[in-house]
Structures are given as structure tokens and as C-alpha cells.
Structure 1
Amino acid sequence: MYTVFNLTSYLKISTPTAYTLKNSSNIQNGINFGYGGTGLFKTLFDGPNLTVQIDSFEQLIKQNVYNKSDVESSIFLVNSGGNDYVAFAVKDRNLFGIKKFMKSLIAEFSVNIRRIQNLGAQKIIVSLLPPAGCVPLISAVSLYNKCFDLLNSVTSNHNTMLLQVEQDLNKEFGKSVVRTLDIYSSFQSTIQTIQENRKDNSTLMNPLEPCCASLSAGYGCGNVDEKGNKKYTLCEKPELSFFWDSLHPSQNGWYSIFKQLEASLSLIIGGEI
């Protein structure tokens, strides 16, 4: 996730090494256990979920790759289940059971955060979910004119429950171990700012529109047909886009979001690395 890169840039350290490269790279600046498309439960992608990722971290501690001091002085960045909701939506195809699923997801997340703390972590940053109704895959139904409020309410409710977990766990730990990174508000604020600026500058790109877009159903950004013909279009100035494809912010998008997070990161980290 681009947030990892931005966080390490803010701390002025190298980006953490991917776990798969742990034996061939410098791991003193940390390890990124994240695996694209995975979540807390089983998702649409076959990869290690958060529990397995923590297993891998625990194994490194047992192997003395990281000692107690390393763990206690580290910052842990954990994401909170966006891919799980995608898997739920694809499998259930409705939102009637979303509340029950949300509760189970938050409960599982709480278990995992508690486990990380039990391994010695003293500073855990939890990333709130961004507004799901603003991704181009969803805003396309409005011709990229507005976000879909119903889906935004799902991620907003998730974040509210997650904030309660933060309070409960910190009370249990007896100190402020868990902090949250408000990606949701930063997403919305950035999008709204760009939309306001477009009123005076029509050359700015619509923030809800993807830079790399599919030309027809069944194809995605970067896809070609059996003859090698491109089945996608690319915007004129990718460096000015907010969303790269139908789901993911562009580098510029993440940069804009992160600029709004710098002040809160300073408070979260407390000036200490």
C-alpha cells in the first residue's frame, strides 16, 4: 500500500523489505508482510491473511531476527479489511448481511491487534478504510459526478466501530498503544477540494474518474485482447489524476491524501521514531 511508502518517507527511512525478500535484503528498516488482495478472512485472492502474516512475524522473533528492543521501538502499520468487504459483496451480492459480517470482521481485527501487542508492540497504527462509494468502479453509475453514499456509510460505520476498538484496547493495555490514521476523511477532503478547484479550472481532471479505464466489459486497466490490441484508455496527464484505475488512487492521489495526514502522523508518532 502506498501509505507504507509515505509513512517511511515521513520518517526518512527506507521502505520496509517485502517479506518474500527477507533473506536477500536489508531488513533493519522493517518488513512489509502485506500481500495484495488479502484481508482478515479468506478473500478473492489466495494469499496469507493477517493471521498468517502475524505468524510470520512471530517466527522472525523466535528466530531472533528481531529482539525485544526492536519490536518495542518499532511502528506497526495495519490495514483493516477493505478486501474482505469486496469478497463479501461478490459472494453475497447484497448488503443485507453486512452488519453481521462487519461485527465479525471487527472482532477478528481486535484479536489480531491484541496479538501484535502481546508480541511486544508499543505503537500500532491502524488505517481506517477509505470511502468505498468514491472509487471509480462505483461512482461510474453517476457518470463520475458523485460518490455513492450508501457504500460510504458502510465504511464509515466500519471506521466508527474500529475507533471504539481503539479505545477499548488502549483501556485494556493501560496506555495508548493503538492509534488510527484517518484515511477516510483525508480521501473525502481531497476529493472535495479538487472538485471545488475544478469550478475555476476546467482543465483539472475529475477526481472520481480513473486515468486508466476499461474500453469494454471483461477488461481492465492494462488488458489487451488476443490480438494484442489495447482494451483500455489512458488519460492525457496521469500525473494529475487522483485515481489510477477503477479502484486504486494514483501516486499523485496518495500524495495528496498523505499531505493531509502529515499533521496527524506527527501527533501519532509523537516525534519519536
Structure 2
Amino acid sequence: MNSLTALSFLFPLFLLSFLTGYQGVEGLPIRHPWPRYRHPWPPYRSKLPVIGRGHFFRPMRPTKLFVFGDSYADTGNKNITEGRAWKFPYGISFPGRPTGRFSDGILLTDYIGRTQFYFYMTNIYDLPEIYDNIYTRNIAARFLMLKTPVTYHWSKFGSRYLNSRIGMNFAYGGTGVYNTSDNDPNMTDQINFFEQQIKDHLYSPADLNSSLALVTLSGNDYSNFQEKNPDGDILGFQFNLTNQLKADLKRIHDLGVKKVAVATLQPVGCLPTVTVSNDYKKCNDSIEMLVSFHNYYVTTAVADLNNQTNSNSSFVVLDLHNGFMSVLTNGTGFPKFEDPMKPCCMGVSSEYNCGDMDKNGTRLYTMCRNPREYFFWDSVHPTQAGWRAVYTTMLPILRKILFF
């Protein structure tokens, strides 16, 4: 009875404080660090042109990012029970645990997703300085991760609103334009998933008309072809492959996506899995010649597609090959690397890979002390720092891509 009396006495006081006081949970001050595109996070000052007083000039920009491809773009679609991207030490640099990304941290996909936001905060060439700071700013890092599209595999566990807010990543590591030994969804399947979501009204025509599609292809089709047809006609296969890729790009655009960016093939002849034979010192010229043919076909396909759509910018090429080579051979980009072709994490012998362990839990790989000093994370994929270096070389073209 005493407790009921006390409650009846306290309830009017609670009601009075609720109606007249601050309605919220006390914690950090509610001063949002980024009032919508007006005041950049200190100490960074925006260098965007100003029209009138206090108004930024804001060109049309993509509001959603749709990603198709393989491990160079996959941010966690692979099943947790499959693939080494869900094993330690993947993700060790960020966020400190495996996330399904084939790297020690974030990928080009994440950097591009964040670029859409940062172009409204600062001059694009200030970005390396910003990223140096957010390594130690966990709150900022968590906020920025919202700019990375949700993965298709995990979208079934999220809300419809969250899934539709900033786009979706359909890329699966180990896949290609055609079927590969991984048996995960190939490019056609990924586009089928996207088309079904459009039919389910997850994305409106207006959403698609202000969206960007990123398509990556890192060579799984070629390795799969060589494995099954060691004496096969690789040039004929290459011609058919790039024609199918062209059809896939057109299909994405026909579904309503306003701008489609396709990455060129990276310098496969410079990957650690190839250069290990010469102590990671020299690229394989024969492989690089095949890569140059592939990239020529892709560039030609993009030009043809733009002619068909009477547009100079509906389809764009993201020159991943030049971005890699600028860092590997010319030392451009940010940061720099002393021995750029040597990987940070590698198996103890050729039969093992980064992340492999025996039945007793003993590591069958070695890892460098600081992944930020290495361009390559494992035998194929760049580190977070490596992707960042490539990204900084691409900033001028990314600015053109992201502003319609």
C-alpha cells in the first residue's frame, strides 16, 4: 500500500516533467555534426561554389548505388560457411572482424559509396586527410558505413525501408559473367535479383532514374576457362565474354538505372599469385597483353552503348587497370608502398591461402605486422590502404561519374 501511495504521488511529478522538460534520453548533445550539406564536420571547410548567401551549388547526384560483380565489389554476400572472407584475419583493420569482404578492411565499393556524401563536404583532394582521421574516429566510421549499400544476401533480414534506402550490393565473390566453379549467382542471376526487386516495387522509377550501377569483373571467367580448357581458344572466349558483358550493361540500363559504370580488368599479370614466381618484382607481359585486349573490348562496348542511347555519359568506364598501375609502377596515389606487389597475408606454402588453418587451429598462413604498408592483402585482393590508393587516383573521373 505504501508503494502505491508513493507511486500515486510521483506520477504527477513525472507527467509534469515530461510535458514541460526535455523529451529525450540524456546522452551526447544533440548537435548533429552534419546539418544537411550546410556545415561540414570541423575542421574541414567546404570548397564547393556558393550561389547567393549560404546556399551551396548542388549538382544532380546518384541517390542509390547498385553493385554487380565479384570479390572486388562483394561486401558480404558469400555464405558465412563458405569462402575465406568470413575467416580471421580478414577484416582485421576495419571493423576488426571478418565482414565477408575480401580484404583487411573496406573496398572500392565502400569508398565510392562514401564519395557521394563527401563531395558535398569538402574538396575531393582533401579526402586522404579525412580518411587518415576517421581511422581513429569510430563514431564517424559507423556513420559513414551507412553509405555502403546493403548486401542482397542479408537484405532478407532487414526492413524494406533499410533495403531500399541507398541501393543494394548483388556482387558475389568468385563469380563472373558466366558460371564459375564457385556456383554462386553469376552476372545474369544478379541482374535477375535486381529485376525482381523492381517488380516487387522496392525501387521506384524515380529511384532508378537517380541511381548509379557499378559493375566489376576481376577475371574469374578467365581462370575458370583456363582450368577447364587449358588448350582452348582464349581469344574467342574473350570476345564472347565481353559481348555478354555488354548485353548485361545494357540490361541494367534498360531496367531504369540512369548511369552504369563498368570497371576495366585490373592488371592480372601483376597480381601476387602471378608475380610470386619472380619474388613479386615483375608483371607477366603475356597475361597483361590479354588484359589489354579485354579492356579494349570493354571500352569499345561502352562507346557503342552510348551511341545506341544517344548519350555520352549513360555508360562510363572506370579504369581500374590504370588505377592499379599508377600505384604499382609509378608510385602515385595515397598512401605509398615500398614493395607494392608483395602481399601482406599469404599461405605458408603454395597449397594454402590467407586465413587457412589446420584441424588443430594452427595457422597455415603468415601475416605482415601493418597491413597499411602493403598494397595487396592476399594473393589477389588489395588491402584497405591499397583500395584507397587506387581510389585517390580515380577521384577526377569519379567526380564526373557521380555528378549527373
TM-score in same-fold range (> 0.5) = yes
Q: Verify the 8 A CA contact 2:218 2:266 in the aligned structure 1.
A: no
- For 1:111, the equivalent position in structure 2 comes to 247
Q: Under a length normalisation based on structure 1, what TM-score does the superposition of the two structures give? A: 0.92
- For 1:46, the equivalent position in structure 2 comes to 183
- For 1:214, the equivalent position in structure 2 comes to 347
The runs of 4+ residues in structure 1 deviating greater than 4 Å are none
Superimposed CA distance per residue, residues 17-53 of structure 1 (whole angstroms, 9 cap, x where no aligned partner): 0012223151210000111111110112111111111
Inter-partner Cα distance in structure 1 for 2:319 and 2:220: 18
Inter-partner Cα distance in structure 1 for 2:172 and 2:392: 25
What residue identity is the alignment partner of 1:131? Answer: P
Inter-partner Cα distance in structure 2 for 1:226 and 1:22: 33
Matched, 1:267 2:372: no
> Secondary structure, in 3 states, of the residue corresponding to 1:218?
coil
**Deviating more after overlay: 16-25 vs 158-167:** 16-25
What residue identity is the alignment partner of 1:62? Answer: K
- For 1:198, the equivalent position in structure 2 comes to none
Superimposed CA distance per residue, residues 107-126 of structure 1 (whole angstroms, 9 cap, x where no aligned partner): 11111111111111210001
Q: Verify the 8 A CA contact 1:102 1:158 in the aligned structure 2.
A: yes
> Secondary structure, in 3 states, of the residue corresponding to 1:179?
strand
Alpha-carbon deviation of 1:225?
A: 2.1
Inter-partner Cα distance in structure 1 for 2:227 and 2:354: 20
Question: Cα 1:219–1:258, aligned 2, differ >3 Å: closer, same or farther?
Answer: same
Q: Verify the 8 A CA contact 1:80 1:109 in the aligned structure 2.
A: no
Matched, 1:4 2:109: yes
> Secondary structure, in 3 states, of the residue corresponding to 1:65?
coil
Q: Under a length normalisation based on structure 2, what TM-score does the superposition of the two structures give? A: 0.63
Inter-partner Cα distance in structure 2 for 1:81 and 1:106: 13
Superimposed CA distance per residue, residues 183-227 of structure 1 (whole angstroms, 9 cap, x where no aligned partner): 0001001011349xxxxx9xx541111111111232111112233
Alpha-carbon deviation of 1:263?
A: 0.8
Inter-partner Cα distance in structure 1 for 2:363 and 2:154: 33
> Secondary structure, in 3 states, of the residue corresponding to 1:75?
strand
> Secondary structure, in 3 states, of the residue corresponding to 1:193?
coil
2:362 paired residue among 208, 212, 229: 229
What residue identity is the alignment partner of 1:99? Answer: L
Alpha-carbon deviation of 1:264?
A: 0.9
- For 1:102, the equivalent position in structure 2 comes to 238
Q: What percent of counterpart residues are identical? A: 34
Inter-partner Cα distance in structure 2 for 1:249 and 1:129: 14
What residue identity is the alignment partner of 2:148? Answer: T
Q: Verify the 8 A CA contact 1:81 1:105 in the aligned structure 2.
A: no
Alpha-carbon deviation of 1:81?
A: 5.4
- For 1:88, the equivalent position in structure 2 comes to 225
Matched, 1:121 2:226: no
Q: Verify the 8 A CA contact 1:82 1:129 in the aligned structure 2.
A: yes
Q: Verify the 8 A CA contact 1:40 1:81 in the aligned structure 2.
A: no
What residue identity is the alignment partner of 1:7? Answer: I
Inter-partner Cα distance in structure 1 for 2:217 and 2:302: 12
2:148 paired residue among 9, 15, 25: 15
What residue identity is the alignment partner of 2:268? Answer: A
What residue identity is the alignment partner of 1:66? Answer: Y
> Secondary structure, in 3 states, of the residue corresponding to 1:34?
coil
What residue identity is the alignment partner of 2:175? Answer: T
Superimposed CA distance per residue, residues 43-72 of structure 1 (whole angstroms, 9 cap, x where no aligned partner): 121111111111111111111111111111
Question: Cα 1:208–1:240, aligned 2, differ >3 Å: closer, same or farther?
Answer: same
- For 2:166, the equivalent position in structure 1 comes to 29
Equivalent runs, 1:228-267 vs 2, <5 Å: 228-267=361-400
Instruction: Identify which of structures 1 and 2 has the higher relative contact order when contacts are C-alpha pairs closer than 8 Å and 6+ apart.
Output: 2
Runs (5+) with no aligned partner, structure 2: 1-72, 74-106, 118-145
Q: Which has the larger radius of gyration?
A: 2
Name the count of aligned residue pairs. Answer: 263
Runs (5+) with no aligned partner, structure 1: 196-200
- For 2:67, the equivalent position in structure 1 comes to none
Inter-partner Cα distance in structure 1 for 2:384 and 2:208: 30
> Secondary structure, in 3 states, of the residue corresponding to 1:41?
coil
- For 2:317, the equivalent position in structure 1 comes to 180
Inter-partner Cα distance in structure 1 for 2:273 and 2:350: 12
